[in-house]
Every structure is written in C-alpha cells, then in structure tokens.
C-alpha cells in the first residue's frame, strides 16, 4: 500500500473539524495517556519514534524537545509555527481546516513533555477561515476541560510576512516587533520567546504526536525509510491531472505519486519540479525515482523541505518561473542583512531582462556571482532559499537561458501553461 492516511484519516467526514468528530476517533485519548507519563519518558518516546520536523529542516523532534533545560525554574514555551508560506506548500492549511483538534492535542502533549504551561499557535494572517476553525477548536477544548488545567494555548495571527516562518523571526513577531531573524546562538531552546527556553515546531510535526503516543514508537518506526520514519503529507500541485494531498510513508517517489495523481496533464510531459517548495533546488524528469525522504532528496542535491511538489510541464518557461520566485524573495526579504536585501533586488533586475530576452551570457555568470555573495552570508535561510531556484535552473536549463537570449524574447506562450488552456489536440 503506497498511501497510509494517519493525519488525514478522517478528513472526509463532513464535521471532521469539530470536537465531537475528533473525540469519536479516539481524540484526546493520547493527551490523557501522555499527561499520566513522565515528561522525560514522553521525550524518549518521540525520540524513539524517529519523528523529524515537517517544516523543512527535518530536525529530530524528540531531540529538539530534549534540548530544553530541565529544572531551571524558568518559564518554558511551546510555539507552533503555522505560518505556512513557502511557495508550493499547502499541507498545514488543509490540516488545520479539517482537523484543528489534532494540533491542539499535540500541543498539550508537547507542552507537557517540555514542561511548558503556555503554547502559542502562530497562524499566518491570510487564512481567515483557518483562524476561525482553530480559534473555535481552542474554545471547545477549554470547554471540554482539555485546556485550562495546567496548559494554555494562545492563538496568534500574523499579518503577511513570509519571513515570520523563520523561527527566530517568528519569535520576534510574537513579541510584538518587526519579524526579523535573530543571530544564533543562542538557540530558541536556550533563549527563545521572551528570552526563555522555547521549542518551535511545525504544525504537521506537532499533529503527528498524538498518534505516536496512542500507537507507540514501534508502530511509527515501522513506516518510512531507514532514517526518515513515519508518514507525511505530500502536496502535488501544478501541471498534474489531479493535484492534491497524498499522505504516504516517507520514501515514496515522484513517479509513484504522479501515477496516483493521474500523471502530468494530458498531452504534456514533465519539465521541472520542486521537491519541497521554491527554496529547494529544482529537479527534472531525471529525478523521478528518487526516494522522497530526507536523505534521498539531499543526496540528489536538493532538500525534502515541506514536500511541496510543484510540477511544471514543457510549456513553462524556466526563466519566468525563476523570475517570479526571485521577485518573491526580494519582496519578502526582511531587510536586516545587506547581502539578501540588496542582492535579491539585483537578481530581479537581471532576471527581468533575461525574461525579456535582453542581456548576454555574461549575465548568467553575474547571477551566479551574486548568488555566491548572498547564500550563507545572511542571518537566516531566506537568503539560501532565494538562490536555490537560480543556481539549480542554471545547472539544468542553462541552454534555455541562452536560447532565450538568442531569440531576443520569450520562447514560451504563457497562455499554453494555464489551467484553462485548451486541451492539446492529437498530442
């Protein structure tokens, strides 16, 4: 069986977001069990399960919890990063829409494990209905007595800033400042929110915890690959026949996922794709059989990231795609670090020209030179993400850049790429 719905198991029930539906499916049994356990035993359980962060970096969740100093007489905080904004990423949003209670139960368990009394859920602001669902779920969890007896949850709504998905920028934002990343060390585990020990976890990571507590580390370990355990949400979007969410054990390949999604859209073929959002170097049709786990994708020169598989077919201009992503990074650069703030601006200028077919081959080298001066030279990973599409597109599609220059104009008709383009006859 390729697909194993755990997180998504009951999303097809009409009232799946209510506390009644959640309770019907063993909801809040895991937290009951966890609250009766020693915090250290819980941390060990999550370590044993092999759960790794689902927000992009893949850091072992139990180990992160274990970094929180114990017996230090300080307030500890749990912060859930629900600022889902990485281009292509669309997994936490439907999760919170369909089952906010699993996130709340995960918070209760995680807070108990790290000896925190307060958990924050930081949701991006451009999701009015998700905010409603999570807010209502928190209210209902208080009414049912799951919250308010030692553990509080505070909902915090963002206001449109990609950078707040970076954990230290998120903490600054939560403290009421502009969301700008902090220099590390100290890491949040030592000095996080309000300078106190803090765990920042992604929505999917926290939502995975109740099932682990209920069914055990061994059960979770039994799914996935050697170092990437469990199931996860893979999100297919773009030029596929049936885009959507696919929950599968880690290690499934794009070839298998495409088969489930009905293939690339009718009459077209795969050109390039992102394995985990726009900040992960692109892949091509040569990478269809790479196991989509943390190690497999890294070995092939990219990152599993958020498992946001954006699929583009042969009608898509690589230059247009990269330009748009670069404009995004330029817009979302917080401005703190000069290489990122200024560098992304210059990248956009050059790419706009290239997209119009203006420039010389020397501009391609200039792009790479600027990228070299941005990546690794800023406080946070936005800078590294910004250069990923450029460097990887030049690795696989340098000839297309040159062809566009020779053509002195765009090689592709954008109308052919759209969802509402007429079907290709006879293809």
Partner 1 sequence: MAYSIDELARMDSIIKRYPRSRSAIMPLLHYVQSLAGYVNNEGIELIAQLLSLEAAEVSAVASFYTQYKRTPVGEYHVGVCTNTLCAVMGGDAIFAGLKEHLGVENDGVTSDGKVSLEHIECNAACDYAPVVMANWEFYDNQTVQSAKDLVDSMRTANPIPPTRGPDTLVTWKEASAVLAGINDGKAHEGIQAGAPTLLGLKISKEEKR
Please list every residue from 147 through 206 that binds partner 1, using CB under 8 A. Answer: 154-162, 173-179, 194
Write down how long the chain is. 427
Task: Specify whether the CB–CB gap between 305 and 416 falls below 8 A.
Answer: no
Per CB under 8 A, the segment of 1-9, 44-52, 291-299, 377-385 that binds partner 1 is 1-9
Residue ranges in 236-255 that form contacts with partner 1 under rule CB under 8 A: 236-239, 242-248
Residue ranges in 7-26 that form contacts with partner 1 under rule CB under 8 A: 8-9, 11-18
Residue position matching structure tokens 């755990």: 6
Tell whether residue 401 is a contact of partner 1 (CB under 8 A): no
Task: Specify whether the CB–CB gap between 202 and 54 falls below 8 A.
Answer: yes
The least CB distance from residue 270 to partner 1, in Å, is 14
Task: Specify whether the CB–CB gap between 122 and 170 falls below 8 A.
Answer: yes
Instruction: State in Å, rounded, how far the first CA of the chain is from the last one.
Output: 32
Residue ranges in 280-299 that form contacts with partner 1 under rule CB under 8 A: none
In the chain, how many H helices and how many E strands?
A: 17, 9
Tell whether residue 208 is a contact of partner 1 (CB under 8 A): no
Q: 327: which 2 tokens?
A: 């404009």
Residue ranges in 88-117 that form contacts with partner 1 under rule CB under 8 A: 88-90, 92-94, 97-98
The least CB distance from residue 241 to partner 1, in Å, is 11
Task: Specify whether the CB–CB gap between 350 and 363 falls below 8 A.
Answer: yes
Nearer to partner 1, 6 or 43 (CB): 6
Nearer to partner 1, 45 or 169 (CB): 169
Per CB under 8 A, the segment of 105-113, 126-134, 217-225, 284-292 that binds partner 1 is 126-134
Per CB under 8 A, the segment of 43-51, 296-304, 305-313, 395-403 that binds partner 1 is 305-313
**Cα gap 394→20, rounded to integer Å:** 52
Residue in 418, 422, 425, 426 binding partner 1, rule: CB under 8 A: 418
Q: 105: which 2 tokens?
A: 């139960």
Residue in 139, 226, 266, 413 binding partner 1, rule: CB under 8 A: 139
The least CB distance from residue 33 to partner 1, in Å, is 26
Q: For residue 118, list its beta bridge partners.
A: 77, 152
Tell whether residue 235 is a contact of partner 1 (CB under 8 A): yes
Nearer to partner 1, 156 or 215 (CB): 156
Nearer to partner 1, 89 or 302 (CB): 89
CA 138 centroid distance within chain: 23
Q: Which residues contact 62 (CB under 8 A, 6 or more apart)?
A: 43, 44, 45, 46, 47, 48, 49, 51
Q: 183: which 2 tokens?
A: 């220099």
**Cα gap 67→83, rounded to integer Å:** 23
Q: For residue 272, list its beta bridge partners.
A: 284, 312
Residue ranges in 306-345 that form contacts with partner 1 under rule CB under 8 A: 308, 310, 312, 316, 320-321, 324-325, 328, 331-332, 334
Nearer to partner 1, 149 or 241 (CB): 241
Residue ranges in 53-92 that form contacts with partner 1 under rule CB under 8 A: 75, 84-90, 92
CA 264 centroid distance within chain: 23
Q: 2: which 2 tokens?
A: 């390729």
Residue in 102, 131, 209, 370 binding partner 1, rule: CB under 8 A: 131
Q: Total binding residues for partner 1 by CB under 8 A?
A: 93
């Amino acid at each position: 069986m390729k697909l194993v719905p755990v997180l998504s198991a009951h999303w097809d029930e009409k009232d799946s977001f209510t506390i009644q539906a959640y309770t019907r499916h063993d909801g809040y049994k895991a937290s009951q069990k966890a609250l009766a356990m020693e915090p250290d035993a819980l941390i060990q359980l999550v370590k044993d399960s092999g759960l790794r962060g689902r927000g992009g970096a893949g850091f072992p969740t139990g180990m992160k919890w274990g970094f929180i100093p114990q017996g230090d007489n300080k307030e500890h905080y749990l912060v859930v990063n629900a600022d889902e904004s990485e281009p292509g990423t669309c997994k936490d949003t439907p999760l919170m829409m369909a089952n906010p209670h699993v996130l709340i139960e995960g918070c209760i368990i995680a807070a108990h494990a790290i000896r925190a009394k307060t958990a924050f859920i930081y949701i991006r602001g451009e999701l009015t209905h998700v905010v409603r669902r999570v807010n209502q779920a928190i209210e209902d969890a208080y009414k049912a007595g799951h919250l308010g007896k030692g553990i509080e949850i505070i909902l915090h709504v963002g206001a449109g800033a990609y950078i707040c998905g970076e954990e230290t920028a998120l903490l600054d934002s939560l403290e009421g400042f502009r969301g700008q990343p902090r220099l590390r060390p100290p890491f949040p585990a030592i000095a996080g929110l309000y300078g106190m020990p803090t765990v920042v976890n992604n929505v999917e990571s926290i939502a995975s915890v109740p099932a682990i507590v209920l069914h055990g580390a061994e059960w979770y370990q039994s799914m996935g690959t050697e170092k990437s355990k469990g199931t996860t949400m893979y999100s297919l979007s773009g030029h596929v026949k049936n885009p959507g969410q696919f929950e599968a054990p880690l290690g499934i390949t794009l070839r298998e996922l495409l088969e489930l999604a009905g293939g690339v859209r009718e009459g077209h073929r795969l050109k390039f794709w992102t394995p985990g959002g726009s900040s992960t170097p692109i892949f091509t049709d040569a990478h269809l059989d790479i196991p989509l786990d943390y190690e497999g994708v890294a070995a092939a020169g990219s990152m599993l990231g958020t498992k946001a598989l954006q699929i583009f077919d042969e009608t898509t201009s690589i230059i247009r795609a990269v330009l748009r992503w670069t404009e995004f990074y330029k817009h979302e650069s917080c401005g703190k670090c000069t290489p990122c703030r200024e560098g992304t601006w210059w990248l956009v200028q050059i790419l706009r020209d290239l997209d119009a077919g203006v420039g010389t081959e020397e501009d391609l080298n200039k792009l790479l030179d600027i990228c070299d001066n941005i990546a690794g030279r800023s406080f946070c990973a936005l800078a590294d993400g910004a250069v990923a599409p450029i460097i990887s597109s030049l690795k696989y599609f340098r000839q297309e850049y040159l062809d566009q220059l020779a053509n002195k104009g765009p090689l592709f008709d954008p109308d052919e790429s759209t969802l509402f383009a007429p079907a290709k006859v006879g293809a």
